[in-house]
Amino acid sequence: MAAQAAPELAKLDLNKNTGSVEANTVSAGGSEKEDVENEGDSDEDRDDEQAGGSTEVNGEIVEYLNENSYRTTNEEKRHLDRMNNDFLTEYRQAAEIHRQVRQYAQKELIKPGATLTDIAEGIEDGVRHLTGHMGLEEGDSLVAGMGFPTGLNINHCAAHYSPNAGNKVVLQHGDVMKVDFGVHINGRIVDSAFTVAFDPVFDPLLTAVKEATNTGIKASGIDVRMSDIGAAIQETMESYELELNGTSYPIKAIRNLNGHTIGQYEIHGGVNGKSVPIVKGGDQTKMEEGETYAIETFGSTGKGYVRDDMETSHYAKVPNAPSVPLRLSSAKNLYSLINKNFGTLPFCRRYLDRLGQEKYLLGLNNLVSSGLVDAYPPLCDVKGSYTAQFEHTILLRPNVKEVISRGDDY
């Protein structure tokens, strides 16, 4: 797969997109020479961001508002931010790779007539190429690479669909496809998603969800209650409607999908993870300083509620799972392989194929039934409906909020 994609990967030019990167690969924990100008930042802000003499491609820097506005200029908070920002280099490297690969995918891969398999493998090979970790040697994927399998969710399917081996689905001109993938450096996961539609009739749906995500980002901050964020997102989302074949469809926030905290090597933030609702409710949980969030919203012309459907592709090892005796040798061997190659990072079945695994489904299902691995089936609204998604990763730093995955595209 990687060899076939190599000629296409040569089209990736790291100097033509968001930021300017001189090196084609990065190593986990290493530094990357970059040249970027942050419009709107003061010289003092840039000095803070580039402490130590290195320059990095920052995300969008957003000042805190209202009662937290003091944080932006408070010297103690600025000092705390400088003292605790070593991990930012890894996040920013992952974010820059995400930007480069998704822009490459939009220009070169995502076209009517392309197979979902080619699109997914092109994105994933792009990520591996730019991280410099192809993931074929034991443990290599844990250093850097895919932080979340490429989801290519078409029309009524909202999340967690990735082509398994043998998938022949072809992208059509009339499809609405959500593209959701993650990149990690040393377990620092940047999770970001966008929606593609070739027919402009779907523009109101995409606009509604993109604006709802931006509303959620704007509303997020230290000490903000989740209920307030959800209410703001829903108000923005549901102010739009889509006219299709002479019928107007209200765009509904998908009420049982949420944003979430992100932990190191844990896409959903671990046992103390928090959810960010996209509808109004009574959750009084607050965001806290130092947390990382995936702010993602989903809109639908259907019921605004998703259920498990279709064949599962996404899996992840359960963090801190209790010791369970496994009777099947295939399950034992597979669990060992998952531990050594993915840890708690999500993976899909194609990643097991890529490592040379065969006839592993019995063992994989045994791991799921034993509570050692979670299965994440595709999540779909009613057939005939259309769904859209936009997502960004944000960091709640002591003195500013950084939208780490922001790019020129969304």
- List binding-site positions: 160, 180, 191, 260, 268, 296, 391
How far is 347 from 333, CA to CA, in rounded Å? Answer: 16
Q: Is 268 a catalytic residue?
A: yes
Q: Is 35 a catalytic residue?
A: no
How many CB atoms lie under 10 A from the CB of residue 399? 24
Pick the closest to residue 196 from 186, 205, 185 (CA basis).
205
Q: Which residues of 288-298 are buried (b: 16+ CB within 10 A; e: fewer)?
A: ebebbbbbbbb
Catalytic position from the list 96, 121, 191, 381:
191
Pick the closest to residue 89 from 131, 59, 60, 56 (CA basis).
56
List Cα–Cα distances, 371 to 138, 194, 366, 374, in angstroms: 24, 32, 9, 7
Q: Is 238 a catalytic residue?
A: no
Catalytic position from the list 296, 314, 381, 402:
296
Catalytic position from the list 81, 118, 391, 402:
391
DSSP letter for each residue of 87-99? HHHHHHHHHHHHH
How many CB atoms lie under 10 A from the CB of residue 33? 11
Measure CA of the first residue to CA of the last residue in the chain; give whole Å: 29
How far is 195 from 75, CA to CA, in rounded Å? Answer: 40
The pair of structure tokens assigned to 65 is 């508002």
Collect all residues with Cβ–Cβ distance below 8 Å to 122 and sequence separation of at least 6: 5, 8, 105, 108, 109
Burial of residue 234 (number of CB atoms within 10 Å: 0-12, 13-18, 19+): buried
Catalytic position from the list 268, 291, 381, 392:
268
How far is 49 from 82, CA to CA, in rounded Å? Answer: 8
Strand pairing report for 379-380 and 275-276: unpaired
Q: Is 260 a catalytic residue?
A: yes
Catalytic position from the list 34, 180, 211, 266:
180
Catalytic position from the list 98, 133, 156, 260:
260
Task: Enumerate the β-bridge partners of residue 151.
Answer: 180
Locus of tokens 């959810």: 275
Q: Is 296 a catalytic residue?
A: yes
Q: Are 192 and 267 in contact (CB under 8 A)?
A: no
- The CA dihedral of 51, 56, 57, 59, to the nearest 10 degrees, is -40
Burial of residue 213 (number of CB atoms within 10 Å: 0-12, 13-18, 19+): buried
Binding residues for substrate: 160, 268
Binding residues for a divalent metal cation: 180, 191, 260, 296, 391
Please list the active-site residues. 180, 191, 260, 268, 296, 391
